[in-house]
Amino acid sequence: MRNAALVLGIIGGVIGMMVGFFSYGYTEIVERFGEVEGIAEQVDRVGLIRLVSFLAPLLAIAGGAMARIRALWAGVLMLLSAGSMYYAFHFNVFTMFPIGFTLLGGILAIAAGKPDEPKAHF
């Protein structure tokens, strides 16, 4: 389960990066060149879109990378990533795979049967 969480988190983060690049770029282009009524209009929460465009893929990839060693932390990071993508971008044809992959990766990481290694946190 940890390996599946690792793969799903990294793939979800990479796909989320593509969504993030487009979303951040869209808000930047509309801000620079102005709105075109009916075609390109600025979103309501520009700051939120830009923040989630950067942080959500970062959390998903970091969670996927640590899934084998610290599954609980990894699961929490991937669930935060999926939740923030859903909140900012909603569920649509472009976000269904990054949200689905990171959500499933987070659930699998948390549900991993073997407990984490008994190590100090620092």
- Residue 33: which pLDDT band, with cuts at 50, 70 and 90? confident
What percent of the chain has pLDDT above 90?
74
Q: What is the pLDDT of residues 73-94, one digit of tens each?
A: 999 999 999 999 999 999 999 9
CA quadruple 8, 10, 15, 16: dihedral positive or negative? positive
- The whole-model pTM stands at 0.87
Q: Which of 72, 97, 74 is nearest to 85 (CA)?
A: 97
